[in-house]
A = this chain, B = another copy of it.
């Protein structure tokens, strides 16, 4: 049994070709695709897959902790098979979303602690998003000037 199938089974999810395809794509992707992105990619290899299935599958993955839903772009969700909480950076020009390596774990956990103390919230998770212009887009802009 493949690793993906095993993962699904561990969470009590039936193993279907659609779920395998969606999880594999997400797992191997660095681009934090939206449901639409996933659908458009998979429709090529799985011509009968439906967008509703992509949404439902992402919901069940989310519910069982296989993926996290990101709140980076407004009006749509992006998905990440890296469930470890980590910050993102989005280019306001090309809209690409990147991870980065800076280790902010200590900072974030101390922020959590401090905020929790102050607000008396029990914090589940966070979304830390930076927005700016990526090197590529800056270069392009330079050329145009």
CB distance B102 to A89 under 8 Å? no
**Which residues of chain B are near A69, meaning CB under 8 Å?**
74
- Name the residue of chain B whose CB is nearest to the CB of A101: B118
Contact among B102, B123, B133, B135 with A131 in the assembled complex (CB-CB below 8 Å)? B123
Known A89-B115, A115-B89; judge A122-B133 contact (CB<8 A). Answer: yes
- Name the residue of chain B whose CB is nearest to the CB of A133: B122
**Which residues of chain B are near A130, meaning CB under 8 Å?**
111-112, 115, 121, 123, 125-126
Q: How large is the interface on A (under 10, 10 to 19, 20 to 34, 35 or more residues)?
A: 35 or more
Contact among B87, B92, B115, B125 with A100 in the assembled complex (CB-CB below 8 Å)? B115
- Interface, chain A (partner B; CB < 8 A): 69, 71-75, 77, 87, 89, 91-92, 98, 100-102, 104, 107, 111-112, 114-116, 118-135, 138
